[in-house]
Amino acid sequence: MNSPIKEFLYVPLGGVGEIGMNMYLYGFGSGKNRKWIMVDCGIAFADDTQPGIESIMPDTAFIENELDNLLGIFITHAHEDHQGGLDKIWPLLDAPVYGTPFSTNLIARKLAETDFGNDVELINVEQGETVKLGPFSIEFIPVTHSIPEANALAITTELGTIIHTGDWKLDNNPVIGKQTDVARLQELGESGVLALVGDSTNVFRTGKSPTEFEVGQGIEQAIKDATGCIAITSFASNAARVYSIIKAAQAANKKIVIAGRSLWRIIDIAREEGYFDDLPKLYDQNDFSGLKHNNIVVIVTGTQGESRAALARIAKGEHPAIKLRANDTVIFSSTVIPGNEKAVGQIINALASADINIITSKTHKVHVTGHPLRDELIQMYGWVKPQVAIPVHGEAAHVREHMKLATSLGVKTVIKAHNGTMVRLAPGKAKTIGEVEHGRIYEDGKLLTPAWDGPVKERRKLSFVGIVTISVVFDRSGKLRAEPEIFAMGLPEYDDDGASMFDLIADKLDEILDAMPKGIRKQEKAASESLRIGVRRQIERVWGKKTNVQIMLSYVN
């Protein structure tokens, strides 16, 4: 009897055709003996089309059915879109988590706030080390990104090696952390790389990006040019950027205030991991009022317009400790993630209305991307020489353009995968062989709900058309026993003739009840539906919208 054929598989559950929610599976073996590893466990943040939702994660139903074969979760780096799901859905995965010390330190702090944190096995892996796990050999290759200790992973089985780039860029002066290990990538390329699963974020941008050191110089100049109290917002996780801001403020003899829990957390972790060993005194936001206003640089959270972050509260004049004045300056040392343009624009307009000066990367060199530009991607392909290219980490247009680029560079097989696609990398020619269960999970308060469930859809509808709830009480003979009660939310108060909407609903309700036969009144379903449809049509006639109408019908003896 022939042995079952062993296969090397790739299955993305999130992170393809979208920004965020990175989650990728690699499988090796055959049938029930196939083993899996997961690369990254990220989230995306909800927008105003998902009311009440804090974050969104990939649906893990497929791998939940393979838990006995899930050997481990490998985190490429500590950004939320790569590890932010662990403190929410790890119990669904129940596997050890591997990462470099900076990442595991941050993850451990988040897990400590859960009731399952002590159950998670966190395993530190130094950059450059290799983990052997079942049929897999996973090497952590240092790459430069906008957070310390980012890694590409070289995942090797007996059928070949794939390089999963994670988020990366080229930077010969990254301020903190290691440069991308080009020599090791070249070595792997010479040995033979089966597939490159690579970042597509900046495929449309030609050239090479500036270094983090150059950005630090730009921030120092921007601080010198600025007036009044200076507030700078940057991604809290970008420890190198936070360090550059602190050193630039120190060079200008400014006092440095830190506003935001996530900023303090990154600073503490960076200190513990040996990156911040020469910082000046840092002040808490509560010290702000006691310092000379025009001699402060305050580093704040809120680059993406988050309503609860420090910058949004400052812009609205609602921050409990930090108040900006006319002719003060806000520096955006960040870029806007697609989908957040409106929220960031609202903050910029609020600051401008308060006569606060605004500096962005459009006028000063105060930000640089953490992802490879087109010329850097070309270099990566030259080093690695993959037989197969699978673009990830980008919206559909980015993925498509990355595919075209890989083809133009002579890659033999370029695969268009989407979330849920199962790709057989080997044996034989790499190709798509099926689709697995996939989707999204919403973090709804303390609960996790599938995206197809009703609450978010219902909330979205309520935000457009409101709701009317009507309570009606009959006795068993069908006689009305109490005056109906009407509760309305989200409706206009008057129609275009000035008539009360409440009165219009009440009059229609009385009309329906007067015309309703006693036989129908005794039938709960028929009576409720008659009232619901009649009131809804009345509102639609007056307002032009189909409101949610709920009838609470009860019977008493």
Strand residues in 80-203 grouped as ranges (E): 97-99, 122-124, 130-133, 136-143, 150-157, 160-164, 195-199
Query: How is 414-447 classified by DSSP, letter by letter?
Result: E----TTEEEEEESSS-EEEEE----EEEEETTE
Task: Give residue-wise pLDDT tens across range 339-391.
Answer: 778 889 999 999 999 999 999 998 899 999 999 999 999 999 999 999 999 99
Distance from C-alpha of 298 to C-alpha of 283, rounded to nearest angstrom: 9
Cβ(459)–Cβ(465) below 8 Å: no
What amino acid occupies position 46? A
Q: Cα separation of 450 and 456, whole Å?
A: 10
Half-sphere exposure of 549 (CA within 13 A, CB side): 22
* Cβ neighbours, 10 Å, residue 423: 21
- Tokens representing 491 are 């409706």
- Give the whole-angstrom CA distance, residue 479 versus residue 476: 7
**Averaged pLDDT score across all residues of the chain:** 93
pLDDT band for 209, please (50, 70, 90 cuts).
confident
**Whole-number Å distance between alpha carbons of 149 and 126:** 9
**Per-residue confidence (pLDDT) for residue 3, from 0 to 100:** 66
Q: Provide the CA 400 distance to its chain's centre, in angstroms.
A: 22
**Which amino acid does the sequence have at 177?**
G
Whether the predicted pLDDT of 48 surpasses 70:
no
User: Is residue 2 over pLDDT 70?
Assistant: no
Using an 8 Å Cβ cutoff, are 414 and 149 in contact?
no
> Which residues contact residue 37 at a Cβ distance below 8 angstroms, ignoring those fewer than 6 apart?
25, 26, 70, 71, 72, 73, 74, 133, 136, 138, 155
User: What is the token pair recorded at 394?
Assistant: 């980008």
Q: How confident is the model at residue 1 (pLDDT cuts 50, 70, 90)?
A: very low
Distance CA 537, CA 443 (A): 35
DSSP letter, residue 289: G
Which domains does the chain carry? 7-207+369-450 (3.60.15.10), 212-359 (3.40.50.10710), 466-556 (3.10.20.580)
Nearest to 90 by CA among 44, 122, 138, 55: 122
Sign of CA dihedral 195, 201, 204, 210: negative
Residue 27 in tokens = 């499988």
527 HSE (CA, 13 A, CB side): 24
Alpha-carbon distances of 254 from 270, 282, 321, rounded to whole Å:
22, 11, 18
Q: Is 464 helix (H, G, I), strand (E, B) or coil?
A: helix
Rounded to whole angstroms, the Cα distance separating 232 from 4 reads 59
Q: What is the spatial distance between Cα 110 and Cα 75, in angstroms, rounded to a whole number?
A: 15
What's the mean pLDDT in 439-466?
Answer: 76
Write the pLDDT tens digit of every residue in 82-106.
999 999 999 999 999 999 999 999 9
Q: Distances from the Cα of 416 to the Cαs of 16, 166, 437, 537, in angstroms?
A: 10, 18, 18, 48
Give pLDDT tens digits for 520-550: 998 999 999 999 999 999 999 999 988 999 9
